[in-house]
């Protein structure tokens, strides 16, 4: 059974606010390709959205799909990846397409500092 990562939309021009989306792939560490529900209620096949516009990353069972790139056999492995995304993106500020603040926090450049610190901590913990 494949497990993947799902999240909720904070704000987007196409996707419904609060909609549950499943992550298919992450490009460059900042943008995800997701599947979700539009504001009109129709399914939106693979749409690109910045990770800072998503919240509450969590593991979930997902039905088999040939295009699903981010899949794990064990739920705990998927949850570890979701926890890392929460750690990286929960405190980053985000703006809507009109430039209005929708989520307060630190600038996006802070993600790089948190990621480097996380990798150093993991490296020390694993004895490398």
For 102-115, the pLDDT digits (tens) are: 777 777 777 777 66
Q: Domain map of the chain by residue range?
A: 3-125
Residue 122 reports pLDDT greater than 70? no
pTM of the model as a whole: 0.77
- pLDDT tens, position by position, 65-97: 666 777 888 999 889 889 888 888 887 777 777
Residue 31 has pLDDT above 70, yes or no: yes
DSSP states along the chain: --EEEEEEES--SSBPTT-EEEEEEEETTTEEEEEEEBTTS-EEEEEEEEGGGEEEEEEEE----TT--S-BSSHHHHHHHHHHHHHHHTTB-EE-TTS-EEE--B-TTHHHHHHHHHHHHHHHHTT-
């Amino acid at each position: 059974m494949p497990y993947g990562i799902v999240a909720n939309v904070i704000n987007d021009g196409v996707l419904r606010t609060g909609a549950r989306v499943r992550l298919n792939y992450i490009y460059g560490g900042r943008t995800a390709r997701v599947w979700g529900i539009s504001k009109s209620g129709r399914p939106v096949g693979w749409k690109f959205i910045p990770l800072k516009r998503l919240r509450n990353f969590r593991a979930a069972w997902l039905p088999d799909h040939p295009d699903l790139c981010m899949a794990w056999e064990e739920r705990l492995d998927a949850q570890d990846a979701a926890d890392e995304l929460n750690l990286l993106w929960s405190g980053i500020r985000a703006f809507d397409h009109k430039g209005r603040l929708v989520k307060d926090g630190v600038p996006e450049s802070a993600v790089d500092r948190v990621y480097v610190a996380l990798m150093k901590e993991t490296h020390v913990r694993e004895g490398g």
